[in-house]
A and B are shown apart, each in its own frame.
Chain A
Amino acid sequence: MKPSSRITLAASVLLVLLLVASAFALHHLDQMGSRVQLDEAFYVMSPKLAQRLSLGYDGLLADVYWTWAVQYFGARHVARATHYELLGPLLEIATTLDPHLTIAYQFGGNFLAPSPPDGAGMPRQAIRLTEYGIRNNPSDWRLYYNLGFIYYMELKDYAQAADAFGRGAQVPGAHPFLRVMAAQMAQHAGELQMAKMMWTIAYQSTQDRDIRENAASHLLALQVEEDITNLEKLVALYRERTGHRPSSFSELEASGMLRAVPLDPLGQPYKLTPEGQVVVQEPERFPFLGKGL
């Protein structure tokens, strides 16, 4: 072997060895926990400072902050966390950097508003964020819809929800349901129907795959809840007529109160417990289900 080839071989082997060794050293360093946590680093970043430091590339930095917000929420959500201290600041920085980043208002509000473990449990902060979004994007009717949604779902504030839907209905090109919702909200309409209407609008008014999947899951859960409510009414009626609970849906079918064993929206038969409760067979397939578990 020529001397130059020997050097090439030795340098190549050394390079690989040192690369692997440096990776191990870094891993060891990580475990010592001496590095500044990202969480702490975010605290010193004010929205205005971030805007100055962006050197005009504020749109790109807003995308980065929005992605951080999504990752932060996702990681905490999976861990069933009850505190989301940095979610608000991350969303504030993202939307200050790019006030037209409407996706951050739409999803950010839904991250902030619901109670843990579904969200951060900060509906007031969600309302502030959405109002800021409306001020900067007054012609986007979805933001009024989101605002009404938060008032209705999280705060049960029918007057404010009606006001938000009403304002949204006046925006040119708004979904026609907004006017109906404003009216029904003013009358404190049935919650299940209202919720179905809201998730239907969420499903119809976007092309985003994630938003559609989320809305479809909610609609499935609402359908199950509606089915269960109706089936439990039938069970109660059967008990009233016969004096005992039915042991299965076949008894209801034999009595002529049902045509067949009822199926959930995914095609699985509902189950009747000995206590007379109706449940789904595979609750994990309905992530937002509040009944029938």
Chain B
Amino acid sequence: MSSRIVHIASNTFREAVRDHVLYNLIAFALLMSGAAILVGQISIGIERLVVVNLGLAAVSLFGVVIAIFIGIGLVSKEIEKRTLYTVLSRPVERWEFIVGKFLGLAGTLVVNTAFMAIGVFAALLYVSRAFDRADVWVLVALYLIVLQFLMITAIALLFSSFSSPLLSAVFAFSLFVVGSFAEDLRGFAAMVPGLSRWLAMGAAYLVPNFSSLNVITSVAHEQPITRQFILSGSLYALLYTGMALCGAVLIFERRNLK
């Protein structure tokens, strides 16, 4: 990997940390400790389920919000502050700038998720008193959540490469919601005839299918995830991320920055 990409990525990571992105960990820690202590008192028999469901849902939602709200500003902020011109006046290709920005934010999200994972496992240890073999599936779910972050980060970057931050946020969040309904879109395609079927099916394959990478409820019930599923999910997420990044690079390469 070019050292220029590494520099851009590490600067993006440092900037995110300076912007207090990791402060969300405090809210997460409060949420997890509150859930671990309180749920046993207000419900029956779901202490472990809530820690896994709530922990992984919070990891996912916090990450998606960070990916969208930091991702949409990655390009526009540099243009607004005019720092982009300084960077591009050096021997840095535009595609390297996009890829570096992506890797920087992805790294931030991975570090953030790692800290949150520690919180989830600490809460699990508190409610279960000991770790179980099935807890390894929680790690698999966390890995699949990180793959979703890569997809949403690339999508946010794609919109950021040609649109304003506000519109980029709206587009990226809408695509996240639509992507969560991708299975329903397929169901709809199966019900309608003719051209509508093909259009609906096309849309179902075009939007990011986040629901297919969501195994939170399964791992909460200690159901194993097959190696084949993990491999296929990884392949899908990496291909989709690559596709969105290519789109971002294509648009940014042709964008008039004057």
Contacts and interface: CB of A to CB of B under 8 A. Distances in A.
Interface in B124-177: 177
Of B50, B53, B60, B210, most buried by chain A (CB within 10 Å of CB) is B53
A225 interface: no
Chain A, interface size: which category? 20 to 34
B46 A55 contact: no
A238 interface: no
Interface in B60-80: 60-61
Contacts of A56: 180, 210-211, 214, 216
A35 B49 CA distance: 32
A131 interface: no
A57 B57 contact: yes
Given A52-B184, A100-B221, A60 B57 contact: yes
A38 to B, nearest CB: 15
A59 B53 contact: yes
B45 A210 contact: yes
B244 interface: no
Q: What DSSP secondary structure best describes chain B's contact surface? A: helix
Nearest to A55: B180
Contacts of A154: none
A59 B49 contact: yes
A60 B217 CA distance: 8
B107 to A, nearest CB: 25
Contacts of B214: 56
Contacts of A211: 44-45
A63 interface: yes
A208 B42 contact: no
Given A57-B57, A59-B53, A59-B216, A107 B45 contact: yes
B2 interface: no
A57 B53 contact: yes
B220 interface: yes
A58 B45 contact: no
A63 B53 contact: yes
Contacts of A106: 45
Contact of B217 (A55, A58, A67): A58
A45 interface: no
A48 to B, nearest CB: 11
A210 B53 CA distance: 22
Contact of A103 (B45, B52, B217): B45
Interface in A45-82: 52, 55-60, 62-63, 66-67, 70-71
A63 B43 contact: yes
B115 interface: no
B183 to A, nearest CB: 9
Given A107-B44, A107-B45, A67 B39 contact: yes
A98 interface: yes
B45 A63 contact: no
A52 B183 CA distance: 11
A103 B184 contact: no
Given A57-B53, A60-B54, A67 B221 contact: no
Contacts of B61: 57
B45 A60 contact: no
A63 B177 CA distance: 22
B98 to A, nearest CB: 28
Contacts of B180: 55-56
A197 interface: no
A58 B60 CA distance: 13
A100 B60 CA distance: 22
Contacts of A57: 53, 57, 60-61, 216
B45 A55 contact: no
25 contacts: A52-B184, A59-B49, A59-B52, A59-B217, A60-B53, A60-B54, A60-B57, A62-B217, A63-B39, A63-B46, A63-B50, A63-B53, A63-B54, A66-B43, A67-B42, A67-B43, A67-B46, A70-B42, A100-B217, A100-B221, A100-B223, A101-B46, A103-B44, A103-B46, A208-B45
